[in-house]
Structure 1
Amino acid sequence: MKKLLGVVFLTLLLLIGGMVGYLRLIGERGQLVQSGTVALPALSAPVSISFSAEGIPTIMADTMADAYRALGYLHAAERLWQMEMTRRIGAGRMSEILGSPMVDIDRLMRELGIYRDAQAQVDRLPPEELAAFTAYADGVNAYLSAPDTVLPVEFALLFHTPEPWEPADSMVWARLMSLQLSGDAFAEDRRAGLIDLLGPDRFAQLFPDHSESPATMNKDNREAWLGGYDASNAWAIAGALTESGKPILANDPHLGINLPGTWYLARIETPETTLVGATAPGVPFHILGHNGHIAWGLTTTHADTQDIVTPTDSQLARATHRTEVIDVRFGDAQQVDVTETPVGPLLSRLGGGRALSWTGLGAEIRSASALYRLNRARNWVEFSEAADLFDDPVQNLFYADTDGHIGMRVVGNLPLRWAGRDGTVPSDKPWLGTLPSSRLPGLVDPDNGLILNANNRIVSADYPYRVSARFQPSYRIDRLIELTAMRDRKFSLTDSQAFQTDTLSTAARRLVPHFLSAEPNTGLARDALTILDGWDFRMDRNAAAPAIYMTLLNEFVRVVLEDEVSDDQLKQLWSANAPFAETVLTQAPSWCDETRTAPAESCVWALSSALERAVLVLKKAQGNTAENWRWGEAHKAPMASMLFDRIPGLGWIGNRPLETPGGDHTLNRGQSHGGSGRHPFDHVHGAGFRAIYDLNDLDNSRFALAGGQSGNPFSSHYADLLEPWRDGRYFRIPGRTGDIPKDEDAVLLLKP
């Protein structure tokens, strides 16, 4: 029997080794070749592409149509699997290749009609914009159809061949991004249940609205420009405050981070246009960047653009119906009955015949047109005309130009609700309408020369329209205001670089003095408090104090919640919730009482209990010596592969985990979930892309990327930028005279 088991084990090892060797061979053969000549159908003239040391292409073309064809070719060569996943998720067709585990996601996408809307939006595009999407699709398909193309390893692993690319496939990315930034409705039932359980006052303590946080715009500096998201940082600094005399614009959008990342950096040079910055695989336009005249960036407004609504009988009578079929690999096909009412589609996951009202649905969405025009805008007027076309999602759009102006616009359609309905819980009334981008506030050239935003409240309380019932806590914006106020000299690019990578937690600075009132019962707990007492509040990955602070915060939230809610609710609510902890310790100490016992307990008791729990957690994870505990040991960015991480034994092929600094409330944001689980402080959300635009010399702008350009785990550019990103090191995207190689051996030439 032992001999048989040995043979089986050896056979499995050989099979796994053979498969890995096969995948490695495919991966190495499938890498983008960065020199030589490639035939690309539909080009009107040759296109040359040079690559920086970081693998970032500079596309030199005679026309923008040819540049889009080249970009489509590069995206396909470097990120095809990512593009395939994006369009299939949006189309509700994941089950066709991954089987029954994806049926629920596919059903939701079919009910939302994401891909149908994308197709309808393509049909409404002006001819010049449709030509751009078509040219991009030509480039993708040229790569797919080339006889020497080796598809990415994921396709080989799943025995899957991609279909030709369509313009509608490119539209899907924006709809999925909007869904990611607008998922408020799916929490409305939970909120309603908590309000019933806790009452509105205690619910407001658990979920503060942060209405007191600094507003980026107020009645003194806000203007309404009439007629003509979960987190990010952005600031624009006027030239009067900078060393160069021209503006600086900094932006680091925060999204989920994995490999490959959201962004693919590229430079396009044509006689008519320069475009530099972040593109999204599958999309022809630059999402973030500069065009030689203006630079732009984005942060999430945190507007509430979704509601659960119960349609009336009259609305149900006007509903349309269709049946779709989900093909399931290795399983039976699933039928989906889709009902679209005047207030939105009925979603099975909402139950009870309820609909989702969302500004991101419909054939009329013009955000692609807005982006097309934004890429070409050369001044504030043209920028504002592009901003007026943004329908969804609601975002803060930042601006700076080479003439010295800075500004911002809130863009997207804002729901107008009935009085007494704030979008917090499900509603029985549809919206009154929406407020379009052209009527949302803007700001240009403020007197103080600064526009700062870290997802804080965008408008002050006097603004007549409700943007959201709740905003992000003020910790990051407080730190940004503090840093900009501390300057006793003019701002440099290096200052913005330091701001983006700053790890001081104002949340910790406000909470730790309260934590120090805990009464330790063990020597290890006393050691932990001593370390906290000497801390500078920086979330350094090599320090013990951040690990103690976050674990203590996490356990304190559990202590005060576990007697107030059910076990199931606790699983959903338990996190390292600093705003709630601060509210409890400064305004609502009654939460600290353990209601299941008498007499009433104080917050000192709750903190002491949390400290003992935290010490046990850290002792088990990192040993018996508090000084040896490290934040980085608990705070790792998994940087997981989209596919290999989900296949037992193959995660090592695509995963590149690394320790990171920062935390939930630092400008260098390293957000984690907290709560329970094996890795509660994994860094799962943050600045996957950082940019600092120098409007004095845009070629001197600085960038950082969490990962690399390639989606191929066997490429040298798969994760080569990961450690520099973590360590706060930046690079330029070549563009100056002498930057671009002239040697034909260092250039990829695309020929008709």
Structure 2
Amino acid sequence: MMLGNRMKSSRSMIKLSRFLRYFVIAFVVLLTFIALVIVGYWISAKSNYSGTVISAGLAQAVNIQFDENDVPHIKAKTQRDAYYALGFVHATERSWQLEISRRLASGRLSEILGERTVSLDRFIRTLGIKQAAEKQFERYPAEFKQLLQAYADGINAGNQSLGWALPIEYFLTGSKPGYWSAADSVAWSLMMALDLGDNWQKELFRLELSQYLNTAEIWQVMPPYPGSNPVTSMDFAKLYREHQVFRPAQSKAQASREGEPYLLKQADTVGWLSDQQEGLGSNNWVLTGKKTVSGKPLLANDPHLGLSAPSTWYFAHLEAPGLNVIGATLPGIPAIVLGRTDKIAWGFTNTGPDVQDLYLEKIDPSNPNQYIGPDGAISFLAREEIIQIKDKPPLRFVVRQSRHGPIISDSHARAKKVIDTQRYALALRWTALDIENQTLMGGILMNRADSIDSLKAALRHHYAPMQTVAMADIQGNIALQVAGIAPRRQLHQGLYGVAPALGWERQYDWTTYVPFEQLPSFSNPSSEWLASANQEIISATNPNPLTGDWDLPFRYDRIEAMIGAKDQHDRASMQTMQGDVLSLGAQPLLALFKSARSGHALQPSIQSAIDGFNGSMSTDSVAALVFNAWVDQLTRILFSRLGDSFTEEYGRRHFRGALLNQISNPNSPWCDVHTTTEIENCQGAANLALQRALNDLSQRYGKSANDWRWGKAHHAVSEHRPFKNIPFLSGLFNVSVPFPGDAFTVNVGRPVLNNPKAPFAANHAPSLRAIYDLNDPEQSVFMFPTGQSGWAQSQRYRNLSDAWANNQVIPLAMKPKQVQRELVLKTKSF
């Protein structure tokens, strides 16, 4: 019996040993296979493309040389081939970025990303971005349609040339590059206009506030431009209550509990719609030769956008007959958007006009498929949309449209929640959706310009988003020109676009647009300089401002002061200005900050730093971190009483103008802490804010203030779409670096604030910096936050981040000193 047991045990051991041996062999084979796949992918992935490629879409061969900073210099014999080659390079360097942009603009993210992007897809479909783009493209002149098609053909050829070893994102999402059409480029230009347009959300916020504040109180929360009165005298809060616009409280509570699925919420847009926030903007300034050491103009530009990885921008040089231009391209757009030729240079800032109006459409009580117009009932236009959802059944829904535009309250959660949807709908009127929009034509013509006059002529075709363009030429001329389309408004007449209008009253309809000749324009001023930083800018030929919601003027004021601090500037001083981190938006609060007393154990150890703080937001500053934590808490104390509206808006809106207005009155009722029985003044609120700030900082960064630094908390994070928040993958795809500045410094680093995990991280900063030297354009320089490559495994994916954070620059030269690699595109020979 014992012998039998031993034999059984021996056989079991043999079987176990054999199983383990086979398991080890299988495991080794699997690891070998995985290693071979990785090695095969690494060898096959064309993340550093060079050599010769046969491409049937070309008319003649194109030579592409990549310089020491990886900027491609595209030399073609025709402009059509140049744009084809640009598309090819965009696809081989930024394939995933193009794919995600195409899907975003078409409302087709959910096909590969699943349920989490359905609400965003639904909203984009509701706006009808792709449909508008297709209609606009059909109206382009034949020459420009051909160039847009050539660029699209180049993208498709570039994607095809990559073979099986696509960027990693395709494998992680189980997808492949889709077909890029010429209309996709037009659609992407509309998405950029959407990113840079915020007015409709300001209108929606004022509508929300009208439920429980009067109009005067709303102007306290969203004050007019400093030194100005509100652009409208209408009591819009009273108007909405009289018309019973708001959803009844019982119905609102029910809607909040039930929650219709797939309605867009602000959280759904984070990382997709990069801006749409207060303080959208950029800086540019230009000096005549009388203000420079060389005697010729200098021009600086740093557009502020939501940071992304890879970068929003890709630098390139295009050379063909009638075309010689270098600068920043937007993958998906066939043009140098910001840059220079050998004769002129230009830079953009967002003008921030009011080109979006919400309209309350009154639903016909006898027929819900109709709404009331000035002359009676009108039927909604309707179309069915179908969103394919990965691993889920498709979503079918109807998009309604009024005579003003798409009904956004059918797809936007806040819009649907605030109004009585049984009686009203909210429509969006937006210039960018106009069939006449041919912005890409303007961009292509800009690239051909050889003088300020021809550049301005090209800008007449720029439609949306409206931009303030600084320009200079080698003859010594400088100019500032606002370009784009905006509705003509009259001060103090009607609502002036600050809040939703009554759609059934003709007085609120747009009638005409502001002519190009009446847009703000300045040339060769006696001051010898021009600048824009999203501050109020008024035309000499039209006193009516383009919006009632300009950004605060702190950056412009600081630029003006720095220009005036020197008699003559050179490239180095322009670079220093771009890196400036003195916050004029902090200085009016410093007296209250320094007088605050918290009773916190750490305050004595940091009081000397607080007392010496001048508003400089440098990365090594302890006081900058404490100040930003304090002002965050103070803002919450004053305005969190607005409830869900504040929660939704804070972070996207900084409330700094409202805060400064209120603390100017030491006994402002807004300073009374609404959660206590005592009545506090602003000093009491400041004391409580410091107590809360020090408690929070202690929990986040340790009990020793010696470990606190602004740069430790304030990282500029270039976020990847869609892997920015996924563990492990976010570390591979995101690019993060300590960064100075705040929302009001010239070197902008805007904290997120409403992100509880990292409230001081910045996702809105200079998306590039460029300085153009018109004495010798080849001495121009640039920098941007990540790198040229869109391949996450490439060292060129993030190689510029530290230099960007430290305000360093690299050459932007048409004649490279060194060629790192070369790519030749040849036409198919028969």
- Give the structure-1-normalised TM-score: 0.91
Counterpart for residue 241 of structure 2 = none
Q: Give 1:24 shift.
A: 8.1
Counterpart for residue 182 of structure 1 = 197
Q: Write out aligned runs for 1:440-589 (5 A).
A: 440-459=519-538, 463-487=542-566, 489-562=567-640, 564-566=641-643, 569-570=646-647, 572-573=649-650, 577-587=655-665, 589=667
C-alpha separation in 2, matches of 1:439 and 1:17? 69
C-alpha separation in 2, matches of 1:655 and 1:244? 41
C-alpha separation in 2, matches of 1:25 and 1:55? 25
Larger Rg: 2
C-alpha separation in 1, matches of 2:758 and 2:800? 24
**Identity across the alignment (%):** 32
Q: Which amino acid aligns with 1:528?
A: I
Counterpart for residue 218 of structure 1 = none
Q: Give 1:163 shift.
A: 2.6
Q: 2:439 aligns with which of 347, 360, 367?
A: 367
C-alpha separation in 1, matches of 2:781 and 2:754? 36
Counterpart for residue 8 of structure 1 = none
C-alpha separation in 2, matches of 1:244 and 1:560? 51
Q: 1:135 aligns with which of 116, 130, 150?
A: 150
Is residue 2:273 matched to residue 1:273?
no
Counterpart for residue 171 of structure 1 = 186
SS of residue in 1 equivalent to 2:572: helix
Q: 2:311 aligns with which of 261, 265, 272?
A: 261
Q: Which amino acid aligns with 2:591?
A: P
- Seen in structure 2, the aligned counterparts of structure 1 residues 612 and 325 have a Cα distance that, compared at 3 Å, is same
C-alpha separation in 2, matches of 1:721 and 1:111? 38
Q: Give 1:512 shift.
A: 1.2
C-alpha separation in 2, matches of 1:406 and 1:276? 19
- Seen in structure 2, the aligned counterparts of structure 1 residues 589 and 471 have a Cα distance that, compared at 3 Å, is farther
C-alpha separation in 2, matches of 1:249 and 1:700? 12
C-alpha separation in 2, matches of 1:136 and 1:460? 37
Counterpart for residue 761 of structure 2 = 682
Counterpart for residue 826 of structure 2 = 751
Q: 2:471 aligns with which of 399, 404, 425?
A: 399
Counterpart for residue 223 of structure 1 = none
C-alpha separation in 2, matches of 1:695 and 1:320? 53
- Seen in structure 2, the aligned counterparts of structure 1 residues 114 and 20 have a Cα distance that, compared at 3 Å, is farther
Q: Deviations over 1:513-541 (max 9, x none)?
A: 22111123134123333211112422111
Q: Say if 1:49 and 1:60, in contact at 8 Å, map to a contact too.
A: yes
C-alpha separation in 1, matches of 2:666 and 2:354? 27
Q: Deviations over 1:281-317 (max 9, x none)?
A: 1111111111222111111111121111123524762
- Seen in structure 2, the aligned counterparts of structure 1 residues 198 and 323 have a Cα distance that, compared at 3 Å, is closer
- Seen in structure 2, the aligned counterparts of structure 1 residues 141 and 196 have a Cα distance that, compared at 3 Å, is closer
Counterpart for residue 481 of structure 2 = 409
Q: Give 1:247 shift.
A: 0.8
Q: Give 1:89 shift.
A: 1.1
Q: Write out aligned runs for 1:317-396 (5 A).
A: 317=378, 319-347=380-408, 348=410, 349=412, 350-351=415-416, 352=421, 353-396=425-468
State the number of aligned residues: 722
- Seen in structure 2, the aligned counterparts of structure 1 residues 750 and 537 have a Cα distance that, compared at 3 Å, is same
C-alpha separation in 1, matches of 2:221 and 2:541? 25
- List runs of 5+ in structure 2 lacking aligned partners: 1-25, 229-278, 362-370, 503-507
Is residue 2:106 matched to residue 1:29?
no
Q: Give 1:271 shift.
A: 3.9
Q: Deviations over 1:201-260 (max 9, x none)?
A: 3322322222439xxxxxxxxxxxxxxx81100001111211111111111000000201
SS of residue in 1 equivalent to 2:551: coil
SS of residue in 2 equivalent to 1:527: helix
Counterpart for residue 294 of structure 2 = 244
- Seen in structure 2, the aligned counterparts of structure 1 residues 189 and 604 have a Cα distance that, compared at 3 Å, is same
SS of residue in 1 equivalent to 2:544: coil
- Seen in structure 2, the aligned counterparts of structure 1 residues 622 and 356 have a Cα distance that, compared at 3 Å, is same
User: Alignment RMSD, CA only?
Assistant: 2.7
Q: 1:654 aligns with which of 724, 733, 743?
A: 733
Q: Which amino acid aligns with 2:150?
A: A
Counterpart for residue 7 of structure 1 = none
C-alpha separation in 1, matches of 2:581 and 2:782? 19
Is residue 2:198 matched to residue 1:208?
no
- Seen in structure 2, the aligned counterparts of structure 1 residues 259 and 336 have a Cα distance that, compared at 3 Å, is same
Q: Give 1:484 shift.
A: 0.8
- Seen in structure 2, the aligned counterparts of structure 1 residues 21 and 513 have a Cα distance that, compared at 3 Å, is farther
- List runs of 5+ in structure 1 lacking aligned partners: 1-10, 214-228
- Seen in structure 2, the aligned counterparts of structure 1 residues 53 and 561 have a Cα distance that, compared at 3 Å, is same
Q: Give 1:578 shift.
A: 3.3
Q: Which amino acid aligns with 2:429?
A: S
C-alpha separation in 2, matches of 1:194 and 1:298? 34
- Seen in structure 2, the aligned counterparts of structure 1 residues 179 and 600 have a Cα distance that, compared at 3 Å, is same
- Seen in structure 2, the aligned counterparts of structure 1 residues 137 and 576 have a Cα distance that, compared at 3 Å, is closer
Q: Deviations over 1:330-376 (max 9, x none)?
A: 11111231223221112212443321111111321021111111111
Counterpart for residue 351 of structure 2 = 301
Q: Which amino acid aligns with 1:665?
A: F
- Seen in structure 2, the aligned counterparts of structure 1 residues 209 and 30 have a Cα distance that, compared at 3 Å, is farther
- Seen in structure 2, the aligned counterparts of structure 1 residues 703 and 676 have a Cα distance that, compared at 3 Å, is closer
Q: Say if 2:95 and 2:159, in contact at 8 Å, map to a contact too.
A: no
Q: Give 1:680 shift.
A: 0.8
Q: Say if 1:298 and 1:397, in contact at 8 Å, map to a contact too.
A: yes
Q: Say if 2:538 and 2:545, in contact at 8 Å, map to a contact too.
A: no
C-alpha separation in 2, matches of 1:400 and 1:16? 60
- Seen in structure 2, the aligned counterparts of structure 1 residues 269 and 414 have a Cα distance that, compared at 3 Å, is same
Counterpart for residue 162 of structure 1 = 177
C-alpha separation in 2, matches of 1:454 and 1:605? 35
C-alpha separation in 1, matches of 2:512 and 2:822? 53
Q: Give 1:415 shift.
A: 1.9
C-alpha separation in 2, matches of 1:87 and 1:262? 14
Q: Which amino acid aligns with 1:566?
A: G
- Give the structure-2-normalised TM-score: 0.82
Q: Which amino acid aligns with 2:143?
A: E
SS of residue in 1 equivalent to 2:795: coil
- Seen in structure 2, the aligned counterparts of structure 1 residues 436 and 331 have a Cα distance that, compared at 3 Å, is farther
Q: Say if 1:27 and 1:714, in contact at 8 Å, map to a contact too.
A: no
Q: Say if 2:51 and 2:824, in contact at 8 Å, map to a contact too.
A: yes
Q: Say if 2:625 and 2:709, in contact at 8 Å, map to a contact too.
A: yes
Q: 1:423 aligns with which of 491, 497, 504?
A: 497
Is residue 2:133 matched to residue 1:118?
yes
C-alpha separation in 2, matches of 1:658 and 1:69? 35
Q: Say if 2:590 and 2:614, in contact at 8 Å, map to a contact too.
A: no
Q: Which amino acid aligns with 2:496?
A: D
C-alpha separation in 1, matches of 2:360 and 2:615? 47
C-alpha separation in 2, matches of 1:651 and 1:398? 37
Q: Give 1:588 shift.
A: 6.3
Greater shift, 181-190 or 169-178, is seen at 181-190
Counterpart for residue 260 of structure 2 = none
- Seen in structure 2, the aligned counterparts of structure 1 residues 105 and 21 have a Cα distance that, compared at 3 Å, is farther
Q: Say if 2:478 and 2:523, in contact at 8 Å, map to a contact too.
A: yes
- Seen in structure 2, the aligned counterparts of structure 1 residues 608 and 636 have a Cα distance that, compared at 3 Å, is same
Counterpart for residue 224 of structure 1 = none
Q: Deviations over 1:109-154 (max 9, x none)?
A: 2221111111122211112211211211221122233374632111
Q: Deviations over 1:377-427 (max 9, x none)?
A: 112221221122222122212211111111111111112357230222211
Q: Deviations over 1:602-644 (max 9, x none)?
A: 2221111111111111111112222331111110122222133
